[in-house]
Chain A
Amino acid sequence: MFSKIDFKFLRYIFLIFVFYCIGCDSQKKKEANLAEFTYIPSGILGLPDLPVPKNNPQSSDKVSLGAKLYSDKRFSADGTVSCATCHKPEQAFVDRLKVSKGIKNLTGTRNAPTVLNAAYYKTQFWDGRRSDLEGQSKDPLLNPVEHGLSSHDDLIKIVKSDPDYTSKFKTVFGIDPNAIQIDHVALAIASFERTIISGNSPFDRYRFGKEEKALSESAIRGLNLYMGKARCQDCHTIGETYAIFTDDKFHNLGVGFKRIQPKLEEILQKKAEAKNSPTSDQEILTNLESSELGRFAVTGVSEDLGTFKTPGLRNIALTSPYMHDGSLTSLEQVIDLYDRGGEANPFLSSGIRPLGLSGQEKADLVSFLKSLTSPVLPSMPK
């Protein structure tokens, strides 16, 4: 049971073992990624290479088809809603509403996230219920408070009856009209969305372009706070050579949680009885209780209660209101939320704590966040 340990030797063996494991693991990850994605240089200061699924390579025809599908209001129950309705190209790909409006002015439960740089996220939607852009685009079409179609066939019928579409699908996928399926539509929309990326902000020029004068004194102080006292960096990550401003994880800040906290037991009991099956897209957008469960609605893991995805911060000054429910209208309000340590609840993420920021420090952080706006945003292909 007891043995005298030779510490140096044991540590040495342990380190060899750890490095071996890290080697194996990173090798495995590398192989998995190589199998799934091709990485295309973004050509934009501050952005990493763009991951493109090997089964959906980019082409200009596909992007053009995707843009047309993205903007087509006929793909909704009353002909009023397209992807562009809530993710407006002229408004940094958001709608500036608290929560989005779909057909018949029906509202959902969530604030529309921007399409800008969504191509870099490892999951889509505030709760990560889809893993990629291809999976994401199909859901709103059927959601009763978004496009409200009864099935994807409604869309396919329109596409098949439109000669411009049938010719484009032939060009892009080499298929006849009868072979067009919703998955082709999703592939094209995702390809278009992979062109909606932006960087080269004053922050990028300062940090990655080494332009010392690209940021104001206040924004530089804000960046230092961001990396230090304000603790933003841990989740909204800035890398050494690029920045996407997300850790691709889910965190509970307590926003909106008090709406469900009194009923939590009842909600979870139901969930347990339903064997923790994932909550449907429709329920998340039509039932406030289910919406506020956040990532838990997807995983059924108590650790995910009230957690939402860390959004990127590029162009954040253009995409108010903020948070998953659009409940905060200004960057100042968001900074105040973090400064007071989020909204108290038992499942608050453990990196969140009161910060004790001064008025000047808060103002500096806001200055920094405003420096993340790109001078030119991508637009629809001509």
Chain B
Amino acid sequence: MRRTGGLLAASIVPMSLVEIACRGRGKGSHEKFTFAFISDPHLTHIKGANFVRNFDSGLNKAIETVNLMFPRPDFVVFGGDLAQLGKREELEHGMELLSKLKVPVKFVIGEHDYYLDMGNYWQDKISKLNYSFDHKGVHFVVLNSILTYDTWIKRWKTPEERMNEMARLDNPNGSPFMVGDDQIAWLKKDLENVMSGTPLVVLSHSPLYKIYKPWNFWTDDAEKIQSVLSRFDNVTVFHGHVHQVLYNQIKNISFYALMSTAWPWPYPESYTQSPNYIPKMTVFMNRQDPFHERDGTGWAFVNMDNAREEMHYKLWENKDRIVKYDDSAGHPVDSTYQKPESRILPQTHY
């Protein structure tokens, strides 16, 4: 597990796309392209036409910034949790804001979007819950990774109660996320005709590996999914949900998490009240400055160059990060902060 955190000072990175030639493991020739990645705005309805200002402004800032990228990204991946409590007002408000994006959007559903009406509105008005597409030589798969056990779903008297229980982070009444056997069967079928050498990108809301169960930084059947993906040479998972810069390598799969546009979560290790088995951290994220609403939040764009990802974390009011797969190391590496001597000091906003 390797990670980076926030830093003071604005970055001096031009908005043009940085292109770094890297020899990926992808076979064949692939066109270079870029996509943007926005996640977890958690738009929160107050009443009438009022929504929480801070969360609206986070999403708006990401949208406006993506629209000002030249050249434009080919599409935007939206990583889930558009709504805070799955309310129709929140989803509609979110779609109204996202409609300002000038490039197509690929939607991933989050648990906050799902557990009020079990994804009905989302499927009806926004997007399928799981699907795949091909883009410039890369095969993309979108999974609904926030399903859970039927017994838990039936446990609650009302949809609101179910939603509220799932919306709490540190909830003893919670239930672990999963992709589920039906979807895994669909995934196997979808990948049947995809060659092992084809670069594969999987988009999910929760991490498709196990970080910390009490907070549901977790997918219960992660190993099953990893096993389905094991025959591919070049697999990358992009996910939201954990609201922080986080990347990891498990066997043949590189994992990248994204910050939220709303608020940051810490890595659970800084919180755990009893010892837990969690992926070992090498670089800790700095404590965020609560004065600055946008500190620790942001968006990302991904350069796909020779079918290997190069993740540009755009941390607002902080230095940007570039994390990319390193062939010689065999895992993603932060271009600046990976080495212990380059670690980031705590912020000094004061």
Interface, chain A (partner B; CB < 8 A): 1-5, 7, 10, 14, 17-18, 21-22, 25, 231, 234, 249-250, 264-265, 268-269, 272-273, 275-276, 295, 299-304, 346-351, 353-354
Contact = CB atoms under 8 A, between A and B. Distances in A.
B14 A276 contact: yes
A239 to B, nearest CB: 10
Nearest to B13: A301
A272 B317 contact: no
A250 B11 CA distance: 12
Contacts of B13: 301
Contacts of B16: 272, 275-276
Contacts of A300: 14-15
B207 to A, nearest CB: 13
A234 B289 CA distance: 11
B346 interface: yes
B195 interface: no
Contacts of B12: 299, 301
B338 interface: no
Contacts of A302: 15, 65, 68
Nearest to B9: A249
Q: Is the interface of B mostly helix, strand, loop or mixed?
A: loop
A268 B280 contact: no
Given A276-B14, A300-B14, A346-B61, A18 B345 contact: yes
Interface stretch (B37-45, B177-185, B271-279, B305-313): B271-279
B334 interface: no
A300 B294 CA distance: 20
A18 B275 contact: no
A120 B49 CA distance: 47
B346 A18 contact: yes
A301 B14 contact: yes
A5 B70 contact: no
Contacts, number: 94
8 contacts: A2-B279, A264-B64, A346-B63, A346-B64, A348-B57, A350-B292, A351-B291, A351-B292
Per CB-CB distance, the 3 closest pairs between chain A and chain B, nearest first, are A350-B294, A346-B64, A272-B70
Interface string B273-305: 001111110001000000111110000000000
A25 B291 contact: no
B248 to A, nearest CB: 9
Contacts of B68: 264-265, 268, 302
Contacts of A273: 70
A30 B125 CA distance: 58
Nearest to A273: B70
A12 B98 CA distance: 45
Given A14-B284, A268-B70, A301 B279 contact: no
Contacts of B63: 346
A251 to B, nearest CB: 10
Contacts of A353: 53-54, 293
Contacts of B233: none
Given A7-B272, A25-B345, A234-B349, A350 B278 contact: no
A354 B14 CA distance: 32
Contacts of A17: 340, 343
Nearest to B349: A234
Given A250-B10, A302-B68, A1 B275 contact: no
Contacts of B46: none
Contact of B280 (A3, A22, A275): A3
A7 B272 CA distance: 9
A22 B8 CA distance: 14
A304 B275 contact: no
B277 A4 contact: yes
Contacts of A10: 269
B201 to A, nearest CB: 22
A22 B317 contact: no
A21 B15 contact: no
B292 A303 contact: no
A126 B316 CA distance: 21
Contacts of B164: none
Nearest to B294: A350
A133 to B, nearest CB: 22
